[in-house]
Amino acid sequence: MSTPTQPFTPSADLARPTVADAVVGHAETPLFIRKPNADDGWGVYELIKACPPLDVNSAYAYLLLATQFRDTCAVATNEEGEVVGFVSGYVKDNAPDTYFLWQVAVGEKARGTGLARRLVEAIMSRPELDDVHHLETTITPDNLASWGLFRRLAARWHAPLNSREYFSTEQLGGEHDPENLVRIGPFQTDRI
């Protein structure tokens, strides 16, 4: 018995507007937001490496996110299919009304376009997340860009933002800044 094969679609073809969740940016340099796939794993890995101070995980981890968690992750590509933005996260098993955002990265070519916010909102507006009314993440105290992003999201969503220390420097091996748990919500997904 033979297993039917799925047709292969290159990443550049998947970046076309007909399959993108959203098209953002300027007319001369559009960016396409969509669910990731296995072809994006290496590009995501390279993007994260180019975005210090983000913690870089293995290429395998990004392949898993792009395939096993694709409904709760988003990738942004340019017209050539190059990965220029990525958000990873998941809906918490023990709190199904809460989305935990793990990493957000925007490459140099796409900075200043509001892409990080648009990536997060693309995920939050998916039907799979209709029951989500809280967003959580962790941020180091000195990551001003991330604090700014999450404050803007809370303001746009008319939702409170709360934070507290979550992981101490000691818990993180003594060589990493503490991570604060940041929680936005409750919010209405139909307002995003």
The model's pTM is: 0.84
Average pLDDT of the chain is: 88
Give me the sheet containing 29-34, strands edge to edge. Answer: 22-26, 29-34, 74-77, 83-92, 95-106, 134-139, 179-184, 161-167
* CA gap 30, 24 in Å, rounded: 6
pLDDT digit string, tens, across residues 29-63: 789 999 999 999 999 999 999 998 889 999 999 99
Q: How confident is the model at residue 18 (pLDDT cuts 50, 70, 90)?
A: very low
pLDDT digit string, tens, across residues 108-142: 989 888 999 999 999 999 999 999 999 999 999 99
Dihedral angle at the C-alpha atoms of 13, 14, 16, 22, nearest 10 degrees? -170
Q: How confident is the model at residue 192 (pLDDT cuts 50, 70, 90)?
A: confident
pLDDT digit string, tens, across residues 73-93: 999 999 888 999 999 999 999
Residue ranges of domains in the chain, CATH in brackets: 17-191 (3.40.630.30)
Residue 166: per-residue pLDDT: 95
17: pLDDT strictly greater than 50: no
